[in-house]
Structure 1
Amino acid sequence: MRRVLIVIFPGFQLLDLAGPADVFGTVAVLSPEDCYQVEVVAVRAGEVTASNGVTVTASALGEVAGPIDTVLVAGGWSVPDHVEDEELVAGITALARRARRVASVCNGAFLLAQAGLLEGRRATTHWVAAEDMRRRYSGVEVDADPLYIEDGDVWTAAGVLSGVDLALALVARDHGHALAAMVARGLVVYLHRAGGQSQFSTPMRAMTPRSEPLRELQAYIDSNPCADLSVPTLAARAGMSERHFSRVFTEQTGVSPGRYVERSRGESARRLLEVTGLPMDTVARQAGLGSPETLYRVFRRHWRITPGEHRRRFRSKER
């Protein structure tokens, strides 16, 4: 039994609590012998209201007794109101001294930094808050791009649902990637995205076009990675000149047609690597990338890992 304490405060982001808690809770369902005990703590015992109005009951963090495996600090829009809360920061510091590891989600990293737990470490937070964090905590190496970062026994995750990615990474570290993948499938979420992956995922990098024909074209690209997806062909399919198509597509999605196609094919390759044992040349071909060399370049460019490293995260064999 690994004991996980999730620290909250008035106005916290509910998903920062619920996402990791459900990951750890699902472990108990799928593999009872590897289960976690999740407890919610705050400065004072009682009801704590999240930013969306949902109320959660917490225990007092100053009254926690017994061994602690993980302390995880939630984030939320109200974090700036709490970084000077000496009782909260001191409580986090005291729990961290007793825990095997410490983690934060979103701008909960500010509370870790305020407690001195990130000094001299590399950390991430929500991209919106990254510049403010750099200004406030010059001793922290803030990297706004990754989904989560592990620096020694301290883990930090980016915005909101990246807390699920971080929790899955903790499960993988504790019990192997096979169990983490089972939990991800049970929750119907992405199969453990690599921490080095950018916060700016495909949906964030490519907005949904206003134009219905372009929305249909976007869906066609995602569903047909092996098709001819060159700009001339896509422009003809959209009924536009190449120049006009490129301009409108980039304007409405935020990325060029070529960049979108490359990323979409990379996503197809990732799915094949996760659920099949196909050799790399076959994966590259079926994802529309042509060769293993191109597959490798796409993975390094977008996710900062190799296709082989990505596949190993999802093999049934334990680490």
Structure 2
Amino acid sequence: MTHSLGLLIFPGFQLLDAAGPLAAFEIAGRYGEGGYALSVLAVTEGEVKSSAGVALNAVAIERALPLDTLMLAGGDGVPQAAMDPAVLAFVRLMHSRARRVASVCSGTYILAEAGLLDGKRATTHWSRSADFASRYPKVRLEPDRIFIRDGSVWSSAGITAGIDLALALIAEDLGEPIARRTAEQLVVYRRRPGGQSQFSALLAMERPEGRFGPLLAWARERLAEPLSIEQLAEQAAMSPRNFARRFLEETGSTPARAIERLRVEAAREWIGGGAESVEQIALRAGFRDPDRMRRAFIRAFGQSPQAMRRVAKAQM
């Protein structure tokens, strides 16, 4: 069976939002029987310039073949596209006719403007989350997700998360082995679970001019060790008291809280991507016992490691 997939672009679209998923689907088609019939769509037929100035050739939406899946790119041109009656009418039509509709990055705005996300869970690029939430209060925005599926509507975070979304769609269409081979060909992870954070403690706490980035990276490689404040201060060549004060001033976090965040991030990745037991992961991440890790997970993510493992398995 061949799956027909159309990717909707507009002036000022983000090139990788389109090219990344298209490459994934094209590669999957080599491995999977039937594969994909791909088309690039726009309101007006012809060349459509991306925000990078590079153009893709598009088919007019009125000439679009019956689609199994419609995907929407994001990018700087989204505000104009989201106000275009022709775009919104086409998206609503495809939602009623196609098996599923998906967006990459800020393409979520178009889905929301078309009314397809009211009452649904969705995500978008982290930098746009506050604006999106204020504009579309009826959408159940989950800003710390890579991609989300709610019924027949899928949404994803910024740019490369479109490849994660494409791999999930490929797994649904052609099976997990094909998605895995596609990821190997693209030299990307298969898989980053949809629930994986868009952020990391290293990025959130490190300041460009700060001195603690190398220390956090050092600690990230030694999570099974105690990583006491004395050990961290010694590595930073500071007294424990001065270290604790300077670290809080610069990162907005205590050293203990920062280490816990590194541990839960690492443990969440291992829980979603491996076969180790929760007990083994708790030791590997430095929590020492599963109950301590469970409490840290609930503080950080609002759910237990076991619940996150069930979600990850359900997405496979």
Shorter chain as normaliser: what TM range? 0.7 to 0.9
**2:77 corresponds to 1:105:** no
Rounded to whole Å, the distance in 1 between the matches of 2:34 and 2:229 is 50
1:231 paired residue number: 229
Task: Provide the alpha-carbon RMSD of the alignment.
Answer: 3.1
2:46 paired residue number: 46
1:216 paired residue number: 214
Rounded to whole Å, the distance in 1 between the matches of 2:175 and 2:241 is 49
Residue identity matched to 1:57: N
**How does the TM-score come out when normalised to structure 2?**
0.84
Change in Cα spacing, 1:221 to 1:69, as seen in structure 2 (3 Å) is same
1:24 paired residue number: 25
Conserved? CA contact 1:19–1:164, under 8 Å: yes
Change in Cα spacing, 1:290 to 1:153, as seen in structure 2 (3 Å) is same
5 Å-filtered alignment, 1:16-95, equals 16-29=17-30, 31-33=31-33, 35-66=35-66, 68-95=67-94
After superposing on structure 2, the runs of 4+ consecutive aligned residues of structure 1 that deviate more than 6 Å are 312-315
**How does the TM-score come out when normalised to structure 1?**
0.84
1:286 paired residue number: 284
Q: Deviations over 1:209-228 (max 9, x none)?
A: 6355x343222212122223
Rounded to whole Å, the distance in 1 between the matches of 2:162 and 2:249 is 31
Conserved? CA contact 1:178–1:318, under 8 Å: no
Q: Return the match for 2:238 from 237, 240, 243.
A: 240
Unaligned stretches of 5+ residues in structure 2: none
Q: Deviations over 1:187-215 (max 9, x none)?
A: 33343333333433344423256355x34
5 Å-filtered alignment, 1:1-319, equals 1-29=2-30, 31-33=31-33, 35-66=35-66, 68-207=67-206, 210-211=209-210, 214-253=212-251, 255-270=253-268, 272-273=270-271, 277-303=275-301, 306-308=304-306
Number of residue pairs matched? 315
Change in Cα spacing, 1:4 to 1:296, as seen in structure 2 (3 Å) is farther
Rounded to whole Å, the distance in 1 between the matches of 2:36 and 2:254 is 44
Residue identity matched to 1:25: E
Unaligned stretches of 5+ residues in structure 1: none
